């Protein structure tokens, strides 16, 4: 594994000094990806400092598999640091994480949106508070195990999709600001597959070499959003009506948190000739609105809180042809962005998408190439 270097006088992290004189804070989740980053940089001779964030009550999460930042993961990160001989610190960010991520997640769901808490965690905790801590430690940069690429362009650092499309995490990192991008490094982004990462973990003799990848949102056991939200907001189980698009009552529900846009199964309104899908959640009226599959398609998407990573100001032109992603698991689609201000826009999908919901991210990509141009949050308009 070699990190990108564009100048023979620069080290692999892009600094004009020896690795031993370059301090790098590595955000360590306890998983194989960030562990390999830390181990590789330590082997190259960098002054590595590992930092792990305790984001929630890890005592209650010790028995939970498939999530990051739990107690077992803190132990694994510490063990890797001991194996590779660099210092490791655990920072208690429970209150920050609760206020910046978990509370908004619950409130957004109750408002009928489909939140993406991993993006808010990167934006508000890892790339804000942790990054500030790295600077307080006099680090030259901060490195993470994310699968995304940072490349130098004519106007400065650019964000690019990972070489391995199956591991690409650009959807979750669109809100990275230019200043943050200047300080961040993503050493795994150029690898062709996760198998290469695990091979490196084996090469370094890391105890986490065979550790499974995290699958769920770290604070949502087994992907059950409703249970988590009920603990945070007991009032979320308020019953209401299931109605069709004309407002006709078809049935009852036991809380809109149990439903998502696009859902077909489990509606409890059988006996109808044609299948119906959840097309909208009206939180104020406590109504689940259902309709035919074609009612799920969306062509015009209002987007706000836009973070722009292009070389020219976002609102400098009337419209742009781009590719956009409205779900992390879907491929980019052709679209036209029409800026309304420096942080708001109307996005027109050339081919309508199903299941577009408020609370999701809309991420912008160059029509040709791998560069991420930023993105924003979908809202009702």
Strand partners, 345: 303, 339
CA dihedral for 191, 195, 201, 203, sign (positive or negative): negative
Q: Say how far apart CA 314 and CA 176 lie, in whole Å.
A: 15
Instruction: Please identify every residue annotated as catalytic.
Output: 121, 218
Question: Taking phi first (over 0 means left), then psi (-120 to 50 degrees means alpha), and beta for anything else, what does residue 303 get?
Answer: beta
Q: Say how far apart CA 148 and CA 127 lie, in whole Å.
A: 14
Residue 175 tokens read as 């809100």
- The residues near 263 (Cβ < 8 Å, ≥ 6 apart) are 277, 278
Task: Give 63-99 as a DSSP string.
Answer: T--S-SSSHHHHHHHHHHHHHHT--EEEEE-HHHHII
Q: Say how far apart CA 190 and CA 96 lie, in whole Å.
A: 32
Q: Say how far apart CA 239 and CA 11 lie, in whole Å.
A: 60
- Pick from 113, 115, 174: which is nearest to 380 by CA? 113
What's the residue count for the chain? 381
DSSP 8-class letter at 9: T
Task: Give 180-214 as a DSSP string.
Answer: HHHHEE-TTTT-S-HHHHHHHHHHTT-TTTTPPPP
Are 305 and 376 contacting, i.e. CB atoms less than 8 angstroms apart?
A: yes
Residue 43 tokens read as 């082997």
């Amino acid at each position: 594994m070699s990190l990108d270097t564009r100048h023979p006088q620069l080290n692999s992290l892009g600094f004009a000094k020896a690795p031993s004189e370059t301090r790098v804070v590595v955000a360590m989740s306890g998983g194989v990806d960030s562990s390999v980053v830390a181990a590789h940089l330590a082997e190259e001779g960098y002054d590595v400092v590992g930092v792990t964030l305790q984001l929630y009550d890890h005592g209650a999460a010790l028995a939970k598999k498939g999530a990051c930042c739990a107690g077992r993961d803190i132990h694994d990160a510490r063990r890797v640091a001991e194996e590779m001989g660099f210092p490791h610190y655990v920072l208690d960010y429970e209150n920050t994480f609760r206020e910046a991520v978990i509370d908004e997640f619950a409130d957004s769901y109750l408002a009928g949106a489909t939140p993406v808490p991993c993006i808010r965690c990167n934006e508000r905790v890892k790339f804000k508070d942790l990054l500030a801590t790295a600077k307080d430690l006099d680090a030259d940069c901060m490195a993470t195990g994310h699968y995304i690429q940072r490349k130098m362009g004519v106007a400065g650092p650019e964000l690019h999709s990972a070489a391995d499309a199956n591991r690409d995490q650009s959807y979750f990192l669109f809100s990275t600001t230019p200043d943050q991008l200047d300080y961040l490094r993503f050493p795994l982004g150029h690898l062709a597959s996760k198998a290469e990462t695990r091979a490196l973990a084996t090469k370094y003799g890391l105890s986490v070499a065979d550790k499974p990848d995290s699958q769920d949102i770290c604070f949502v056991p087994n992907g059950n959003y409703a249970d988590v939200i009920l603990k945070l907001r007991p009032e979320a189980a308020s019953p209401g009506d299931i109605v069709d698009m004309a407002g006709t009552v078809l049935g009852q529900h036991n809380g809109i948190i149990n439903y998502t846009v696009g859902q077909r199964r489990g509606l409890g309104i059988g006996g109808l000739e044609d299948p119906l899908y959840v097309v909208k959640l009206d939180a104020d009226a406590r109504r689940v609105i259902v309709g035919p599959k074609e009612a799920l398609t969306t062509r015009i998407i209002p987007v706000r809180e836009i973070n722009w990573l292009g070389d020219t100001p976002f609102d400098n032109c009337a419209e742009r042809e781009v590719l956009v992603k409205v779900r992390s698991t879907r491929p980019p689609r052709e679209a036209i962005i029409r800026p309304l201000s420096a942080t708001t826009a109307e996005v027109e999908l050339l081919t309508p998408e199903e299941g577009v919901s408020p609370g999701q991210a809309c991420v912008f990509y160059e029509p040709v190439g791998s560069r991420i141009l930023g993105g924003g949050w979908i809202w009702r308009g």
